Amino acid sequence: MNFNAIAEQAIAKQPLTREQGLSVLQAADADTMDVLAAAYRVRRHYRGNRVHVQLLSNVKSGLCGEDCHYCSQSRVSEAPIEKYALWQTEKAMGEAKRATAMDAKRYCMALSGGQPTDREIDRLADMIREIKSATPIEMCLSIGFLSLDQARKLKAAGLDRVNHNLNTSARHYEKICTTHTYADRVKNLMTAKEAGLGICSGGIIGQGEDDDDIFDMFDALRAIEPLSIPLNFLIPVKGTPFADIDTKLTPNRCLRALSLLRFMHPDVDLRVAGGREYNLRQLQPLSLYAANSIFVEGYLTTGGQETPAAIQMIKDLGFELELESAGEDSLGDAAE
């Protein structure tokens, strides 16, 4: 397969065929650098050499009634995690200010649980209002299932974006969760969109899916039109149903998946998310030839690369930290 031809096609925003997509995922390890070099052409065309970092806080942990098999906060998980109710505003404000001080572009808050209560929404709206009036940082909330009224309330408070991942293909969904459906997730994304919120939506690979599932998930995201796509790489956490799953993830495979995502979503904000350190190991820096964004200091219940090391990695690559928030979402057609 000619990966440069795929890059040209991606730059022209022509969708990949399934055959092309599978050829990327199934390329030999020895050809991964060819795949990545082609993905980098697309990334550089639409996103230059800029990288932005995001800080994520788990502002409510555990105590969830859903059974997402990958998640250590689910009702079926026995992983020894910290469990706590929604943070007070002062604590979130402190973290938002810390994110601002470390030049993070966006501060993301995540809450465990399926549907937030109206009381939680009111508290979150106050929290967002206060943080937005005290800092210039953009805010994203990963919050489960919202009613339209709840989504509108958060939007009115100044929330920029909602994260809700498709997580896997429609076909594979019942293998990763039984308490809600893939269709519920799509509906929730449409609700957030209707309220005028920006969408962040991606998935997790390594959950027993096959390559067609990965292609289908990436393809389904096209209809969602997310501004940002986080790609997570499963960490099989002890105590969760996926503790002993064979993820089939190797650093090379992770790089090919990121490259495919870049080919299929040439201009989006593509984030290397959870499991970066665990699954990409020494090849982590290479992920930024396809992606343009990373989390620092960890994820919901697992730690991650510290900010100084992440910034050094970005500098060592010769890339620059993206600080400006204005206009990011309209970079779509802005070639270098």
Note the residues at the interface with ligand SF4 (CB under 6 A). 64, 66, 68, 71, 73-74, 112-114, 144
Catalytically annotated residue among 50, 161, 271, 276: 271
Active site residue 140: yes
3-state SS, residue 138? strand
Catalytically annotated residue among 41, 43, 47, 64: 64
Q: Give the nearer residue to ligand SF4 in terms of CB position, either 9 or 201.
A: 201
Q: Kindly state the smallest distance separating residue 224's Cβ from ligand SF4, in Å.
A: 18
Catalytically annotated residue among 41, 43, 108, 254: 108
What one-character DSSP code corresponds to residue 150? H
Q: Kindly state the smallest distance separating residue 302's Cβ from ligand SF4, in Å.
A: 13
Q: Give the nearer residue to ligand SF4 in terms of CB position, either 113 or 202.
A: 113
| Euclidean distance between CA atoms 119 and 128, whole angstroms | 14
Q: Give the nearer residue to ligand SF4 in terms of CB position, either 71 or 294.
A: 71
Active site residue 64: yes
Per-residue tokens: 25: 């995922």
Catalytically annotated residue among 71, 177, 253, 254: 71
Active site residue 71: yes
199: nearest Cα among 143, 157, 252, 274: 143
Q: Give the nearer residue to ligand SF4 in terms of CB position, either 114 or 158.
A: 114
| Euclidean distance between CA atoms 174 and 90, whole angstroms | 39
Q: Sign of the C-alpha dihedral, residues 192, 198, 199, 200?
A: negative
Catalytically annotated residue among 47, 68, 106, 161: 68
Q: Kindly state the smallest distance separating residue 45's Cβ from ligand SF4, in Å.
A: 34
Other Cβ atoms less than 10 A from the Cβ of 104: the count is: 24
Helix, strand, coil content of the chain in percent (nearest 5): 45, 15, 40
Q: Give the nearer residue to ligand SF4 in terms of CB position, either 188 or 252.
A: 188
Amino acid identity for residue 60 in this structure = K
Q: Give the nearer residue to ligand SF4 in terms of CB position, either 62 or 251.
A: 62
Active site residue 200: yes
Q: Kindly state the smallest distance separating residue 200's Cβ from ligand SF4, in Å.
A: 14
DSSP secondary structure letters along 173-200: GGGT-SSS-HHHHHHHHHHHHHTT-EEE
| Euclidean distance between CA atoms 191 and 150, whole angstroms | 10
Q: Kindly state the smallest distance separating residue 74's Cβ from ligand SF4, in Å.
A: 3
Q: Kindly state the smallest distance separating residue 310's Cβ from ligand SF4, in Å.
A: 24
Q: What is the CA radius of gyration of the chain?
A: 19
Please, how many CA atoms are within 13 Å of residue 183, restricted to the half-sphere of its CB?
0
Catalytically annotated residue among 50, 177, 200, 276: 200
| Euclidean distance between CA atoms 319 and 44, whole angstroms | 11
Active site residue 108: yes
Q: Tell me the catalytic residues.
A: 64, 68, 71, 108, 140, 200, 271
